[in-house]
Structure 1
Amino acid sequence: MTHYVAIIEDAGPDQAVGVWFPDLPGCFSAGDTLDEALTNAPEAVALWFEDLEGEGRAIPRARTPSELKADPEVSTDMANHVIALIPAPGRALQPAAE
């Protein structure tokens, strides 16, 4: 099963916990707590995939945490925030080739 790295930012008790995916531009989610944000994340990925499928676009390849850590555009976020692996939807969608 394919998993996408999610970056989770907890900005404090008066703000929602945000979740975004470096490999899925524009895909984001949130929740009032870390647990809620993690619960909501798979649905955000599924909806994002539906939109992509509807547009006839290819699914981006999920990079490994090590690959993302080596990416200077992502490494700082990984160092400063919580990360999680979120499963891709269980449909027969194939990632784009490299």
Structure 2
Amino acid sequence: MLYPVYIHLGDKDYAHGVTVPDFPGCFSATDDWQGLPKAVQEALEVWCEGEKGDLPTPTPLEDLAANPDYQDGVWLLLDVDTDKLDTKPVRLNISLPQSLVNEIDAYAKAHGATRSGFLAQAARDAMGG
């Protein structure tokens, strides 16, 4: 899906700053234009972690371009892989030893996480993501 992305132009000393208006508070930075799509995709995936509900509908670029908050930069319509942004939880039935579940629960609680959140992050870490 094409989402408008606003780029605050960098220079030889500063990275290009990136804002995704349809995802409030989602931002990223990259030193070069080639790295921009990957940086934005990763930022959106992090932003969506733990979110519930539907993804926002992309705001028409012409509406955003008229906004005075977005001046002195450039716009890009970025094709975001929304399959990686799915925010709808899926219920799973898995079997683990009780002692491992107890350890997972204790660790997750001590780190301000839920069992599901901990297991999801452990899976991401194991897969290199």
The TM tier, using the shorter chain, reads: 0.5 to 0.7
- Quick one: distance in 1 between partners of 2:57 and 2:77? 14
The code of the aligned residue for 2:36 comes to A
Question: Which of 51, 74, 77 is the aligned partner of 1:55?
Answer: 51
Report the counterpart of residue 21 of structure 1 in structure 2.
20
Shift of 1:76: 5.1
Shift of 1:14: 0.4
- Quick one: distance in 1 between partners of 2:58 and 2:40? 15
Shift of 1:21: 0.9
For residues 38-74 of structure 1, give each alpha carbon's deviation from its aligned partner in whole angstroms, at most 9, with x where no partner exists. Answer: 432122223322x2xx23244222112112224x3xx
Q: Percent identity?
A: 29
Question: How many residues matched?
Answer: 86
Shift of 1:81: 1.0
User: Retained in 2: the 8 A contact 1:45–1:89?
Assistant: no
2:61 matched to 1:69?
Answer: no
- Quick one: distance in 1 between partners of 2:65 and 2:45? 24
- Quick one: distance in 2 between partners of 1:83 and 1:9? 9
The 1:36–1:24 alpha-carbon spacing in structure 2 relative to 1, beyond 3 Å, is same
Q: Gaps spanning 5+ residues in structure 1: where?
A: none
Q: Gaps spanning 5+ residues in structure 2: where?
A: 88-129
Report the counterpart of residue 88 of structure 1 in structure 2.
80
Q: Identify the structure with the greater strand proportion.
A: 1
Indicate the structure (1 or 2) with the bigger Cα radius of gyration.
2
Shift of 1:93: 4.5
The code of the aligned residue for 1:5 comes to P
Q: TM-score, normalised by structure 1?
A: 0.68
CA RMSD of aligned residues (A): 2.4
